[in-house]
Amino acid sequence: MAKLSDVKPLPLQTLLKNKRDPGAALAGVAVIIAQDVGTGAKVVVFGRELLEDIARTKVRHAVKVLIVEVNFESDDLERLNTLIDFVKGRLGSSAAG
């Protein structure tokens, strides 16, 4: 089973450049993490409840994770959340917690 540190971050700009379907990379993942390009700080923006359930039950699960590189000092997080809401539905914003 891969570790989170093995997941290669995808820059937000690369995600948004997919003119045909910018949300395609988001559709099949259960957890989306935003990582600041400047500091490396991470925040779960989708799938927090799933991660909390896994932590509480201590049962190992294979979970598809996407890390998106953003600039926390810009509107990148807002842009990413808008895309998540569009692809995953409004429940995505409540799962971000």
pLDDT at 61 over 90: no
Report if pTM > 0.85.
no
- Nearest-angstrom CA–CA distance, 87 and 69: 18
Phi, psi dihedral angles at 59 (to 5 degrees): -95, 130
- At 1 the pLDDT is 60
Cβ neighbour number for residue 89 with a 10 Å cutoff: 11
pLDDT at 37 over 80: yes
> Using 50, 70 and 90 to split pLDDT, how confident is the model at 95?
very low
- At 11 the pLDDT is 95
pLDDT at 36 over 70: yes
pLDDT at 42 over 90: yes
- At 69 the pLDDT is 97
pLDDT at 96 over 50: no
